[in-house]
Amino acid sequence: MATERRDWLATQEAADYLQVHVNTVRRWAREGAIPAAKLGNRGGFRFRHDDLDRFLESRRRGSGEGAELID
């Protein structure tokens, strides 16, 4: 059980991991860009490391494709 808890990050931890502002992570979660678990009305979000890694990889691939089109 303890292993599962380490897999989940709070919003601020996810923002630090992604190196973006905490409000950006909240917006991405609300828009569905990043899978997130919503914890009640004021509980905030929780994010899985694996989901954040997949999100980062998709952003890298997307920016890589865009860079090729610009060249």
2-70 CATH fold: Multidrug-efflux Transporter Regulator; Chain: A; Domain 2 (1.10.1660)
Dihedral sign for Cα atoms in the order 13, 36, 19, 12: negative
- Structure confidence by residue, pLDDT tens digits, 47-64: 999 999 999 999 888 865
Answer yes or no: is pLDDT of 3 > 80.
no
* Domain positions in the chain: 2-70
- Ordered alpha helix ranges (H), 1-71: 2-7, 11-18, 22-31, 49-70
pLDDT of residue 70: 36
Contact 56, 25 (CB under 8 A): no
Distance of alpha carbon 15 from alpha carbon 30, whole angstroms: 14
Does the pLDDT value for residue 67 go beyond 60?
Answer: no
* Neighbour count for residue 25 (Cβ, 10 Å): 26
pLDDT at 26: 94
What local confidence, expressed as pLDDT, does residue 1 receive? 46
pLDDT in tens, 20-49: 999 999 999 999 999 999 998 887 899 999
